[in-house]
Structure 1
């Protein structure tokens, strides 16, 4: 029963996270547990546990007796998120290039192939799902659960900013940088993996800085 409950919670979390990242649930929108249980066809427990996780990640605010509110988006925060994320991503890329199993390297190759296809088809939603998959493979392969847990919420927030302000305009450059990093990790070349992780983070930080500058 514990495994079944965990599976339902994970399913609820993934669906809610995607709906928030892709703005199906809009910034500032109020939702209720009862609405979500009805829409998802689930009991209250997995929904509640998924909401608690999303609250910890900063994607929602839970207000007792007032309901659940989807977090607002402040474009200036994109640069701050990327500043915090940068070093952790480089660390995880280097560790995963050394420590990934054969199965994890194969999964990265497959993910890279699928990401190329998503970019070729201009499928932003599929790209974001594959980006999430990539992050999860690296989190496991790095064998550093502390860094992985710290960076997870920053990755999700980044995806939300990216979808809101960049999306299709940055799809091909973003996909290319991700694919190059996956190839480097899969090959086991730590030096190249560190370089490609640095290039991806610099790309996203430039995008974040340009966004802030356009608003100022």
Structure 2
């Protein structure tokens, strides 16, 4: 984790990853004190991270019951992707048009890191690079309204993916992501939007399999 991140950002990223990778389990009750001890970070950044994760739907703050890690319903994955689909097309196209040279170099590196993680079948590292890619594209798109709406949907998608497809072959998913990354890095706005569309259709097929048959 980069050392120049604020403690609040570090707390958020640490807890987000713990929730996405199910180290903090769906339905589990947690406390500020427990999360402070778990991360080694202070109460204030942990409190700020909890508020953000609650807004994103990953934690639920319930009177008298405390803080609960959000449950997971397989049918919700499709709902998440329905909301995410159009935003991904928009943001990918904007990023391809507006990304700086540094953004494009970073995206090329993300693509290579993701490909290598998929080849090793390292799901957690793969999802870590997927988040890094999402963050760079969101910054490059220069539309905070779209990216603020998109970010929690991306996180929810990673959580569902880890829960239901974590042991599957990562290469098809990696290839779909790589096509988007390369189009954005090359500045091809139309191709970036089209590849983002293909990625969403791929994920929606996977999500549909959760509700159409046993896993």
1:211: how far off? 1.1
Residue of structure 2 equivalent to 1:140: 139
Task: Say whether 1:32 aligns with 2:28.
Answer: no
Structure 2 residue matching 1:168: 3-state secondary structure: coil
Partner of 1:61: 60
Residue-pair matches, total: 212
Deviations 1:163-208 (A, max 9, x none): 1001131411111111111001100111211111111010001111
In 2: Cα distance, 1:113 partner to 1:141 partner: 19
- Normalising by the residue count of structure 1, what TM-score does the alignment of the two structures yield? 0.95
2:7 corresponding residue in structure 1? 8
3-state SS, counterpart of residue 170 of structure 2: helix
**What whole-Å deviation, never above 9, does each CA across 1:64-94 have from its counterpart, x for those lacking one?**
3422100000000000000000000000010
The runs of 5 or more residues in structure 2 that have no matched partner are: none
Distance 2:209 2:62 in 1: 34
Match of 1:122 in 2: 121
Greater CA drift, 37-46 or 71-80: 37-46
Question: Which moved further from structure 2: 39-48 or 69-78?
Answer: 39-48
Structure-2-length-normalised TM-score: 0.95
Matches within 5 A, 1:20-169: 20-169=19-168
Kindly provide the CA deviation profile for residues 16-73 of structure 1, in whole angstroms up to 9, marking residues without a partner as x: 0000000000000001111111122222100000000000000011123422100000
Matching residue of 1:172: 171
Higher-helix-fraction structure: 1
- Output the CA distance in 2 between the equivalents of 1:51 and 1:215: 34
- Do the aligned residues in 1 keep the contact of 2:176 with 2:199 (CA within 8 Å)? yes
Q: Which runs of 4+ in 1 moved over 4 A?
A: none
Displacement of 1:214: 1.3
Quote the offset at 1:215 in angstroms.
Answer: 4.9
Q: Give 5+ residue unaligned stretches, structure 1.
A: none
C-alpha displacement of 1:111:
0.3
